[in-house]
Amino acid sequence: MSRVPLAASASPRESWKTVLLLGAWGCFAAWCVSGIPPAVDLPAHAAQMQTLAELVRGNSQVSAYYEAHFPLGYGLPIWLFLPVTLLTNGAFAARLAAWTALMLFPVAHLAFTRVLHRPAWTVVFGLPLAFNISYWYGFLPSLFSLPLALLSLALYLHALRGSGRAVGAVVGLALLSTATMLSHLVAFGALGVGMAALALASDDRRRAIGLAAAGLALPLALCATRVVALASRAVTPGNHMASDYGWGSHFNWLLRNYRPEGRLAVIGPVLVTLVFVVAYLRHRREEPRAPWVLFLALGALFLVTPKALSGAWLIHVRLPVLAGLVALVLVDPARIDRRLRALLLLVVVASLAETARYHWRFKQEVAGLETLVASPPPPGVHGYVSLVGNRARGSRLVYLEHLGQWWTATQGGVGHHFFADADHQPVRFRPGQSLPQWMDAGSPEQLAPFSALLVYGEAPLPGTLAGFEETGRAGSWRRLERR
């Protein structure tokens, strides 16, 4: 594998520009995740965080229903931000974790630019990729794991370019790859595929394989049993999701589902990727081969990954986010015509503007929730009912599914519908315990455990809620408590 010269240290002027760029991005990301962001599962992850904190504090009311676990292959951010949760609450910790993940995307891209001697300003082209489907779905472990995987790959490339045993790089790679695995096992699988491709295409294959093995040994040893158990579900009948390849949805799922979120969130990164790929093919003799090998490996992984396997929904890897970010280091952007670069920059700005517009619109649509969750629920179990279904206006994504779990995330207590029935979550039901997840029908049996409800929607209350009285109202939200 051909090598490139060691990157020259950045000039003070370039360093300040990078700091300003990251500062501006940090402010934008903070605004996006503040308040009530459009992220399907983020309220549920926030409720997981707060409930975990309640268990650590020894809240007997919560521990009667739930218990804590440290699952392998999922949920590291929930444990990692536990100190923040204990100091504040799950709502703040989840927003901070989402913000951290958004910040890690340009940081990972910057790591690649330094390793491959690219200008730092190319990071701008990759910013829309941070708002991928893991963000919109609020998959906090997946969103966190993607940039961790990219940072691991950048560090591995750095180690390949050096000489000797690179002990420091191996230790760093072991820590980053373990963090990736503990965040999300599927992203760790993508990391392994990328490192294998780089190792096999390296000029010094024996050394490259040795570095990869040393860097991945710890997480592989930790998750081996878990991987075998998940793989066995692919051939063992059960009540888990059936394996499904879903060829067509590799290409039309995003375009079909991204509506008010912004078409450019899909079209823009595809256009940018195509431009960089074509530029690389035109100048491939002058450019390093390593990023091209990595891009092809991650692109192939996107194509071959099923829609669902062993009961897991693999949309995290089926999205070409990892390949898209790697494409941005395929070639020196100076080889791309200046006018074309300016056009790509306009596409990026327009895409981020669409993203901002939808965040603003969603926050206006669900205004009032923050007011009602500012006060703690009464003793007992509190829940959430949507009278308008689980889809936000104009969107195909189920943003309203877990929206009321911000109450649990903010105030604690015994909440519901935050994945406590899943064995891979840090917080699960105690054996023999359960609570209803969906209350669409609102039957007396479903409502019996609940002492208070948040209700979204301005439709008249159904008769099944006759045992509750309204104690608060804000916007389209109502707070009900037992009479």
Look at residue 315 in the predicted model and tell me its pLDDT: 63
Sign of CA dihedral 245, 130, 74, 426: negative
The per-residue pLDDT for 310 is: 65
- Say what the pLDDT of residue 440 is: 64
Q: Is 179 helix (H, G, I), strand (E, B) or coil?
A: helix
Looking from the CA of 178 toward its CB, the CA atoms found within 13 Å total 13
Q: What is the pLDDT of residue 130?
A: 95
pLDDT value of residue 201: 93
Find all residues with CB under 8 Å of 64, minimum gap 6, and list them.
Answer: 414, 430, 433
Contact 30, 99 (CB under 8 A): yes
- Position 8 scores a pLDDT of 44
Backbone φ and ψ of 331, nearest 5°: -145, 150
Task: Pick the closest to residue 353 from 468, 262, 447 (CA basis).
Answer: 262
Cα–Cα distance, 111 to 89 (Å, whole number): 32
> 354 with 261: CB under 8 angstroms?
yes
The predicted structure's pLDDT at residue 181: 96
Report pTM: 0.93
Averages of pLDDT over runs of 10 residues in the chain (483 residues) are: 46 82 97 97 98 97 97 94 98 98 97 92 95 92 95 94 78 96 93 96 93 96 88 70 72 75 89 96 94 95 79 64 94 94 96 96 96 95 94 90 97 96 94 86 81 94 90 96 93
The pLDDT value given to residue 165: 62
- Helix (H), strand (E) at residue 66: strand 66-68
pLDDT of residue 444: 80
User: Domain map of the chain by residue range?
Assistant: 12-33+70-361, 369-482
Q: What is the spatial distance between Cα 241 and Cα 72, in angstroms, rounded to a whole number?
A: 20
State the pLDDT at residue 250: 73
Per-residue pLDDT at 10: 59
Q: Residue 4 and residue 400: Cα distance in Å, rounded?
A: 49
The alpha carbon of residue 190 and the mean position of all alpha carbons in its chain are separated, in whole angstroms, by 15
Cα–Cα distance for residue pair 306/302, rounded to 1 Å: 9
